[in-house]
Amino acid sequence: MKGTWIFFIGLCCTAQVKAQGFDMPQTKLNSQLDTAVVKSLFFAGLQDKLTENYVKAAESFNKILAIDPKNAAVYFELATVNYRQNKMVEAEAAIKKATELETNNIWYWKFLVEMYKRKGDMNALILVFNELIRLDPNNDSYYYDRSNAWLLADKPEEAAKGYDELERKFGPSSELNLARQRLTVKADGSAAKTSKGDALEELKKAKLKEPDNYEVDLAMADAYKAQKNSVEANASLQKAFANPAMPAEQQIKIIMMLFTGTKNVQRMNDAKGLAEVAVEDPSIKAVYAEVLYQQGDLPGALKEFQGVLKISDQYYKAWEQVLNIQLKLNAYKEAIQTADQALSLYPNQGMLYYYLSMAYKGTGQKAEALTQIKQALQLDPENSVYKELHETLK
């Protein structure tokens, strides 16, 4: 169902990317300086990216840009490797440059959606959806997402006009009707009108007609929030989360929004409660573990992160968090075992060598700790954290 961006969802846009990176078609070199050096650097960077040696890949791409500063494809690749290292400022700067240089590449704009989505910059996001509509005018999801961005930017009139444009182009639909209902809920809540209960009553009727529609539950959660009824809002969210039809990605975004926003006990507990509903999904289990970590429950978080890795060992961030927590709990021997396992899967991640070095340091094995931090520095020579540990161990 389209147009599912309500307040609690934050930004569940259709132009989606994976949390650990962007699975997009491989870019091709488009350098005006068609030299052997540039080609060699470009394909070396791609190879390092594929093997997850992002630091080295970024070095290659930056060297190309020093030679050819107008290469959009290289800016895109640099944005991806920065994103995968969680360097969001650098990633955003690179992808914006790529869109400036090559305005008709839809993948660049989709990447920029992710940047503004994470920042919560609705006004900038609206402009990006305008570009996506320009490039792909027959994709109705962009129209829905643009109206949702207007709604989240507290511009209900523009959102309504967007839905009108969508109806003129694609015709009426039940999805559009529900989107307009959410618009009414938001507008009523923002204006504090006495009629704000009307939308809730309509949603209750819709729930009777479609008891298994999780999106109605989400809309009801929004309506209850407009009435400042947090208990019923959370109950509606719980019902939506218990519905197997609700996508895991959508659940994750709501949980993340709750516990990464303004910190208070109620929000954190709500996030924890929602995560517990669908915790068997490994991606949600990882989010649940993060909630426990944020609440200071290190043993509980460790257990959940380890549970994620039992389901799949391909969650790299889970490996890092297991090591991080084990070190915080002074479980150095266990951390050594964990780091060895992680390095067998991710041999080019300097952070894993850093954690392994810290674990050996904790057990008093200074020589082995020094060996491991040297390995980390080979992968990332400019990392100040690695340098500091290296100086300590020398």
Domain containing 90 — which CATH number? Answer: 1.25.40.10
Q: Is residue 358 part of a domain?
A: no
The predicted pLDDT at position 20 comes to 36
Q: How far is CA 229 from CA 60, 69, 108, 194, in A?
A: 53, 53, 41, 15
Domain boundary among 198, 216, 246: 246
Q: Of the ranges 38-52, 144-158, 338-352, which is most confident?
A: 338-352
Q: Is residue 35 part of a domain?
A: yes
What letter does residue 18 receive in the DSSP assignment? B
Q: Is residue 238 part of a domain?
A: yes
**Residue 57 and residue 206 in one domain:** no
Q: Is residue 155 part of a domain?
A: yes
Percent of the chain with pLDDT over 70: 85
Q: Which amino acid is at 192?
A: A
Which stretch of 50-59, 166-175, 255-264, 296-305 has the lowest confidence by average pLDDT?
255-264
Domain boundary among 163, 187, 208: 163
Cβ neighbour number for residue 22 with a 10 Å cutoff:
17
Which residue range is the domain that position 180 belongs to?
Answer: 172-246
pLDDT for 190 beyond 70:
no
Which stretch of 115-119, 127-131, 163-167, 185-189 has the lowest confidence by average pLDDT?
185-189
pLDDT for 252 beyond 80:
no
Which stretch of 122-126, 230-234, 287-291 has the lowest confidence by average pLDDT?
287-291
Q: How confident is the model over 122-131, as a mean pLDDT?
A: 93
**pLDDT tens digits, one per residue of 32-75:** 445 778 888 888 888 888 777 889 999 999 999 998 899 999 99
The predicted pLDDT at position 26 comes to 46
What token pair was written down for 370? Answer: 């020094």
Residues 144, 166 contacting (CB under 8 angstroms): yes
The predicted pLDDT at position 298 comes to 94
CA distance 151 to 149: 5
CATH number at residue 218: 1.25.40
**Residue 84 and residue 210 in one domain:** no
Q: Of the ranges 13-17, 229-233, 330-334, which is most confident?
A: 330-334
CB-count burial class (<10 Å; 0-12, 13-18, 19+) for 209: exposed
Q: Is residue 284 part of a domain?
A: no
What token pair was written down for 24? Answer: 């997009």
What token pair was written down for 94? Answer: 């690179």
pLDDT for 279 beyond 80:
no
Domain boundary among 134, 163, 192: 163
Q: Across all residues in the chain, what is the average pLDDT?
A: 82
**Residue 75 and residue 36 in one domain:** yes
Which stretch of 69-78, 111-120, 293-302, 359-368 has the lowest confidence by average pLDDT?
111-120
Residues 182, 222 contacting (CB under 8 angstroms): yes
Q: Rounded to the nearest 10 degrees, how much is the dihedral formed by the CA atoms of 212, 215, 221, 227?
A: -110
**Residue 117 and residue 196 in one domain:** no
pLDDT tier at 259, thresholds 50, 70, 90: low
CA distance 259 to 232: 19
Q: Is residue 31 part of a domain?
A: yes
Q: Is residue 258 part of a domain?
A: no
The predicted pLDDT at position 40 comes to 85
**Residue 114 and residue 199 in one domain:** no
Q: Is residue 381 part of a domain?
A: no
Residues 357, 393 contacting (CB under 8 angstroms): yes
CB-count burial class (<10 Å; 0-12, 13-18, 19+) for 195: exposed
pLDDT tier at 383, thresholds 50, 70, 90: confident
**Residue 35 and residue 87 in one domain:** yes
**Residue 135 and residue 230 in one domain:** no
Residues 215, 185 contacting (CB under 8 angstroms): no
Supply φ then ψ for residue 18, to 5 degrees. -80, 150
Gyration radius of the chain's alpha carbons: 24
Number of structural domains in the chain: 2
What token pair was written down for 323? Answer: 């090591």
**pLDDT tens digits, one per residue of 91-120:** 999 999 999 999 999 999 999 988 887 777
**Residue 159 and residue 30 in one domain:** yes
**Residue 181 and residue 158 in one domain:** no
The predicted pLDDT at position 63 comes to 92
CA distance 22 to 8: 24
| Listed residue (5, 7, 26, 6) closest to 15, CA to CA | 5
**Residue 56 and residue 79 in one domain:** yes
**Residue 190 and residue 148 in one domain:** no
**Residue 158 and residue 202 in one domain:** no
pLDDT for 19 beyond 70:
no
CA distance 146 to 154: 13
